[in-house]
Structure 1
Amino acid sequence: MSENSITTAGQKAARVALAGLGAGLGLGALVSIASSGLAAYFARKIVIPGQAPERVQILHVDGFDDEMHIHLSADEDTLVNGRYGLWFDAGRGHAQIGDVIEYDPHSRTVSREVLGVPYGNLRAARTGRWTGSFYPDARTLGLPYENITLTSDVGDLPAWYFPSGAGTEAPGSETSGASGVGTGSADTWAILIHGRGGTRAEGLRAVPALDSLGIPALAIAYRNDEEVRVGNTARYGLGDTEWLDVDVAIDHALAHGAKDVVLFGWSMGGAIAFQAASRGRNKRFVRAMVLDGPVVDWYNVLDHQAKENFLPTPVARLTLDMISRPWAQPITGLETPLDLDRMDWIKRAAELDVPVLLIHSDDDEFVPSGPSHALANVRRDLVTMPHYEKARHTKEWNVDPEQWNDDVLRFLAAHLG
């Protein structure tokens, strides 16, 4: 999930409150107006797409290209060992960052390895955005792939197709549209679904493990993400609408040799996967799901975010009403209210009918792991949940790719045969 800057809605709410003050309204009325404005601001913040700012300070880069070190401002993310991505230059540059070399608690700085710089001039950068997307695009994986285009009711959806050795194109080849895509011989394909505020690059971490099993994969863009949205009218459905594009991806897989699919979802991508597996026209073809830091219950996530932002309970409740009730559509810009009950898989646990691997670190700062544990406890017949505790949000692979790959491979071997 990403943070957005203050929106016009928040500014308007502030002006309304000031106007009320000038008109001599009572304290109760002022509190009510201010609460409504604050709820409107956060409701819009939840559904309006945006990208997190570059908050990490890049202090210095030293060494040669084959042995570079980077010195950064230290925070809860940059202090965790593992392999990460660092976007810089407003997303035009990307560096692959390795383990911590040294931490200075007095200056609150950290030195880390630089494993590669696929794009941009890292030495000239001064700020960056920390990310779990170690691979910025399909080319950097070093595996055969094709650029394809899927088409849904919202228009064209770019996707990467990884044939896992089954296709005929050379690594890095590009194919426009669906024609020319290798069909392969695998009966099961994987659909990789990124999270809120992310891109299809988020799912690339799963591709090497899938390639080792000979499972073709589609890493897809979907409605409202930065590769698809047009203008400023896009609104996230939090999974309540995006699943329609997963159905299109499954259509494509079935048309090119697949007999069934495994859905991989990160964060909100997990919520999308749940909806595709329960509501989609292709739900009978979903054989299993692998979900990383998934949203199992939006009420829990939004309550957690309200507390993190010090929202009073009445404001938090009003925020939930605004994204789920018809009366607030002019405020949120949503075409239809969101059905949060339909996306609550604790309440719907009995309806789950496919095996699920839940990978969810207990220190997840955005999406608490409690609902994942609850679902695993009540559906032990279908849900597998290994232990992770130091990865934060959707970065379990980054902290320990060996464990992540082993857990995924064991799960798939058990359920795909």
Structure 2
Amino acid sequence: MKAPKVLGSLALAAACAFSMAFLGAAYFARRVVVPSTTRREDLFIRQVFSAEDGSLRIELQSTPLTRAPGRYSLWFGDGKGHACIGAVIAEDTSAEAVTRLVERVDSGDLQAATAGIWSGYAYSKPEQLGLPFEDVGIPVDGGVAPAWKFAPTAASPVSSTWALHAHGMGGKRAGALRGVPVASRLGLTSLVVSFRNDGEAPPSNDSRYSLGQNEWKDVEAAIKFAVDQGAERLVLFGWSLGGSMALRAANLSAHSHRIIGLVLVAPVLDWAETLTSNGSASGLPKAIARAGLSLLGSNAARWVTGLKQSIDLSALDWVTRAGDVKTPTLILHGIDDKSTPVAVSERFAELRPDLVQLVRFDVPGHSLEWNADTEKWESSVTRFLKSLPAD
């Protein structure tokens, strides 16, 4: 009589283990595709004070990110406040504190803030660039996506080449403003675009990310807008997810012959490896992460993910598909990026040395290459753009 009880207990344990694994995979899959509307303000602000020279300074919890050189961004007050944070002034290792210059407070009461979110935006509004721009609308599926159109600087010879700038997952188009000044100095008109499910453009019919599989269609709409406005050639700037979108647009666009270059900042070149790596960094077993990826690619599992269409991750694996790349590409990538490992960009560049250039940056965090070394970033982009076919 004992054997059936033991077998029953084992079966129950196995069923429970399977259920837990499935729930973990389902949770992971949904976290990947469901847009997040809020982020936790987890960076402690110790104090904000005025220095003797009248400048404003901020003392923060010391972390690899807050100690990094360069210019960054601090969001606070439930995302309504924003400040541009500049150079490190002092560091107190015993108190685990770092003091930095506050270059600009764009909105909110920074001196009343107790916590915030560190980011790479640097600019929260287009007028902060000091360049002529206008608000434009791009017709897309479901309505009109807002965009900013920047004219080249007056000192630059105007080019018939346009630069399109696409931000990353979970961000807004302001995050892509960092690429505009260098394009403008070279005479390029810039179009900084929004895309489905970013909170600015119309949502998709399922309100889910598709990891570039469908978002690229909004880049295609922007390309058509630019061509209709007189653009003869295009350079696509893509940040993180925007990089994956740019590659897909260069591959599938009806105007692909006009796309003469790609500038990809910490791009997602292989979603399977990137998401598995992110899951592992969060303590998720790789087997659970892989199961979650399988759910994303399964039509039968759309009831779990909420996707109207399953995601073909193999079509978004640009390392495996390196042979399909036909456009000169510059990749700018931090060597300590935990979100999109630089090793993937290195493999991609090794496979296509004829078309792909990789410039590494010594900076922690994701998509912070411009912030850590603006001069290196812009000089790398300048050399690349000048190497492309002239007007």
**TM-score, length basis structure 2:** 0.93
* Aligned mates of 1:107, 1:256 — CA distance in 2: 56
Q: Is the 8 A contact 1:391 1:399 kept in 2?
A: no
- Cα offset, 1:339, TM superposition: 0.9
Question: Counterpart of 1:59?
Answer: 46
Query: Residue 150 of structure 2 aligns to which amino acid in structure 1?
Result: F
Give the gaps of 5 or more residues in structure 2. Answer: 1-8
- Cα offset, 1:345, TM superposition: 0.9
Question: Counterpart of 1:156?
Answer: 144
* Aligned mates of 2:360, 2:220 — CA distance in 1: 31
Question: How many matched pairs?
Answer: 379
* Aligned mates of 1:347, 1:30 — CA distance in 2: 37
* Aligned mates of 2:93, 2:16 — CA distance in 1: 44
Q: Is the 8 A contact 1:98 1:114 kept in 2?
A: yes
* Aligned mates of 2:214, 2:208 — CA distance in 1: 10
Aligned pairs for 1:148-227 within 5 A: 148-165=136-153, 185-227=158-200
- Residues 3-33 of structure 1 show CA distances to partners (whole Å, capped at 9, x for unaligned) of xxxxxxxxxxxxxxxxxxxx99711111110
- Cα offset, 1:93, TM superposition: 1.1
* Aligned mates of 2:263, 2:374 — CA distance in 1: 15
Question: Counterpart of 2:314?
Answer: 341
Question: Counterpart of 2:374?
Answer: 401
Question: Counterpart of 2:27?
Answer: 41
Query: Residue 114 of structure 1 aligns to which amino acid in structure 2?
Result: V
Query: Residue 302 of structure 2 aligns to which amino acid in structure 1?
Result: Q
Give the gaps of 5 or more residues in structure 1. Answer: 1-22, 167-183
* Aligned mates of 2:14, 2:128 — CA distance in 1: 58
* Aligned mates of 1:245, 1:386 — CA distance in 2: 28
Higher mean C-alpha deviation, range 225-234 or range 321-330: 225-234
Whether 1:321 aligns to 2:324 is no
Aligned pairs for 1:250-265 within 5 A: 250-265=223-238
- Cα offset, 1:416, TM superposition: 3.5
- Cα offset, 1:74, TM superposition: 1.9
- Cα offset, 1:378, TM superposition: 1.3
Instruction: Tell me which protein shows more strand as a share of its residues.
Output: 2
Report percent identity of matched pairs.
38
- Residues 290-346 of structure 1 show CA distances to partners (whole Å, capped at 9, x for unaligned) of 000001111110120121122223212210111111111011011101111011111
Question: Counterpart of 1:28?
Answer: 14
- Cα offset, 1:142, TM superposition: 1.0
SS at match of 1:388: strand
SS at match of 1:318: helix
- Cα offset, 1:105, TM superposition: 2.7
Give 1:272's match in structure 2, choosing from 223, 226, 245: 245
* Aligned mates of 2:355, 2:179 — CA distance in 1: 21
Q: Is the 8 A contact 1:132 1:202 kept in 2?
A: yes
* Aligned mates of 1:137, 1:368 — CA distance in 2: 29
Structure-2 change in CA distance of 1:334 and 1:353 (3 Å): same
Question: Counterpart of 1:3?
Answer: none
Question: Counterpart of 1:100?
Answer: 88
Question: Counterpart of 1:124?
Answer: 112
Q: Is the 8 A contact 1:161 1:219 kept in 2?
A: yes
Q: Is the 8 A contact 2:349 2:356 kept in 1?
A: yes
Q: Is the 8 A contact 2:333 2:369 kept in 1?
A: yes
Query: Residue 45 of structure 1 aligns to which amino acid in structure 2?
Result: R
Query: Residue 76 of structure 1 aligns to which amino acid in structure 2?
Result: P
RMSD: 2.0
Question: Counterpart of 1:384?
Answer: 357
Q: Is the 8 A contact 2:91 2:99 kept in 1?
A: yes
Structure-2 change in CA distance of 1:231 and 1:260 (3 Å): closer
SS at match of 1:235: coil
Q: Is the 8 A contact 1:362 1:392 kept in 2?
A: no
Whether 1:144 aligns to 2:132 is yes
Structure-2 change in CA distance of 1:370 and 1:48 (3 Å): same
Give 1:359's match in structure 2, choosing from 332, 335, 340: 332
* Aligned mates of 1:314, 1:154 — CA distance in 2: 37
Query: Residue 164 of structure 1 aligns to which amino acid in structure 2?
Result: P
Question: Counterpart of 1:114?
Answer: 102
Give 2:68's match in structure 1, choosing from 52, 66, 80: 80
Whether 1:285 aligns to 2:258 is yes
* Aligned mates of 1:191, 1:134 — CA distance in 2: 19
Question: Counterpart of 1:331?
Answer: 304
Query: Residue 53 of structure 1 aligns to which amino acid in structure 2?
Result: R
- Cα offset, 1:104, TM superposition: 2.3
- Residues 51-87 of structure 1 show CA distances to partners (whole Å, capped at 9, x for unaligned) of 4321111121000695011011122311211100111
SS at match of 1:360: strand
SS at match of 2:386: helix
Higher mean C-alpha deviation, range 61-70 or range 403-412: 61-70
